[in-house]
Structure 1
Amino acid sequence: MPKALPQQRLQQLQQLLRRIDIETSGLASTGWAAVDEALTHTSAGLAINHEQLEFLGDAVLRLAASEYLEQHHPELSVGERSALRAQLVSDRWLAEVGEAIGISDALRIGPTAGGDATALSTLRAEATEALIGALYRAFGSLAPVHQWLTPSWERTSRAVLSDPHRGNCKSALQEWSQAKALGLPTYRTKERSKRHGDPQRFHCHVGLEGWISAEGWGGSRREAEQQAARAALEAIKPAQGS
């Protein structure tokens, strides 16, 4: 047990790792220190923070997701795997995983960041990615990452692969418009809020002259454009088969 960690803090971290079924009986003090670092946000103003492990976690996540796709979806082309992987490592997916395990319960953050409700999703995503990096550092392998994330990847993969647009509505709308010789959709996206993590920070209007006009909102420019494209596809459903 790491002597540097107060008992209450150690219990917080133990409870979190139990929620993701990680065996911690043999975890060294350096491993616990890594988990503690991952779950200490920069806003807390402490000597350690999550940034380096978040950077490591980004690379670990992409590699582990690539291995998952190779093992579980060998039938997909490289392009299809790349598109699906983008869904399996997205900030939205990370935030959902963090929320599912209650990562906020063990996250040390400053009072300003903690009081910004719109930023909570971003904080969860950052902490989840940092925790992935911490597990890799603590155990020296991808095994605990796969053990934790595979069930979530399975659920997300099923949802994406059952979606006729495969989670990329912009591409689907463009393919449809080109097949109809209508040209390319036009996107106009504006930032309506400066609040980091605001789910309606960006507003997008998409137009296809003579056919459709639709709009969407999102926490990022990309998300807003995807939501606008999805709304457009829903609106032209009757014409898609013609």
Structure 2
Amino acid sequence: MTQLPIKSFSSIHEFLEISNLLPSSDALVLEALTHSSVKKHYNHEQLEFFGDAVLRLAASEFIRNGYPTMDVGQQSSLRSQLVSDSWLANFGKIMNIDELILKGSDAMHDVTAIKTIRAEMVEAVAGAVYIRQQTTKNIILLFKAEWEITAKKFLQNPYHFNCKSALQEWSQSHQLGLPNYTTIEQSKLHGDDLRFRSIVIVSEQLEGEGWGRSRKEAEQSAAKNCLQRLDAQ
């Protein structure tokens, strides 16, 4: 395994170059960065599936080492944020993964799928790196700088990333019962930010609306809208 310097990386390309794992010289990394729309006999999908588990393990190790006194509930909430699709998509953008991805014409012209593809490719790269190096150590180094930024924000406001939990805690503390969510799929377009629409009602006294690429994302958005209305009162 290549011993990487303890530093922040400016791009995934730089990380792969220092790791001697550039797609031009490593078939597994090439597979990780080849989107299924290219129609080759190999693509990112299996490594994405594997990389999802790798990132959960790496994030768990990062949290255990960096925040050993954090309770398990908070650790779980923080890990969910560190490996969420939206976080990974943003990380991929910051780390310029787009310049490495091989995409077919359909994917190139599907602007609604950009975030989803970025997140999937970040997972696939993590999977490929783990298979090659058999350790999470270098993966943690790649993500460490951005994970630390997110963890700091999380510690300042643990509910910032989990508005559903915050809304539920507020409603129960006011003896209003559980928030009631109604979530409807508005379109079938993969990666569409407006694919799901969610309405949340708290004891007929408070209502919020949200949208998202998944049911979970839409419900979090609706809960956030509710909390913002509370703050405005």
Q: Do both share a fold (TM > 0.5)?
A: yes
SS of equivalent residue, structure 1 residue 126: helix
Could you give the per-residue CA deviations for residues 19-68 of structure 1, whole angstroms, max 9, x where no partner exists?
3375235x599971111010011111112111121122111101110000
- Contact 1:31 1:138 (8 Å CA) reproduced: no
Q: Superposition RMSD on alpha carbons, in Å?
A: 2.2
Report percent identity of matched pairs.
Answer: 45
Task: Please give the alpha-carbon distance, in whole angstroms, between the structure 1 residues aligned to 2:111 and 2:204.
Answer: 41
SS of equivalent residue, structure 1 residue 158: helix
Task: Please give the alpha-carbon distance, in whole angstroms, between the structure 2 residues aligned to 1:103 and 1:33.
Answer: 17
Q: 1:236 to 1:52 in 2, by over 3 A?
A: same
- Contact 2:11 2:94 (8 Å CA) reproduced: no
- Contact 1:38 1:49 (8 Å CA) reproduced: yes
The answer for the alignment partner of 1:177 in structure 2 is 171
1:191 aligns with 2:185: yes
- Contact 2:210 2:225 (8 Å CA) reproduced: yes
The answer for the alignment partner of 1:19 in structure 2 is 14
Q: CA deviation at 1:187?
A: 1.0
Could you give the per-residue CA deviations for residues 139-194 of structure 1, whole angstroms, max 9, x where no partner exists?
22212201101111111111222225241111111111111111221111111121
The answer for the alignment partner of 1:111 in structure 2 is 105
Q: TM-score with structure 2 length normalisation?
A: 0.89
**Structure-to-structure mapping, 1:35-46, within 5 angstroms:** 35-46=29-40
Q: Which moved more, 1:161-170 or 1:133-142?
A: 161-170
- Contact 1:30 1:138 (8 Å CA) reproduced: no
Give the residue type in structure 2 aligned to 1:19. E
SS of equivalent residue, structure 2 residue 26: helix
Structure 1 runs not aligned, ≥5 long: 1-14
**Structure-to-structure mapping, 1:136-155, within 5 angstroms:** 136-155=130-149
- Contact 2:186 2:197 (8 Å CA) reproduced: yes
- Contact 2:35 2:43 (8 Å CA) reproduced: yes
Structure 2 runs not aligned, ≥5 long: 1-9
- Contact 1:193 1:201 (8 Å CA) reproduced: yes
Match of 1:93 among 62, 87, 90: 87
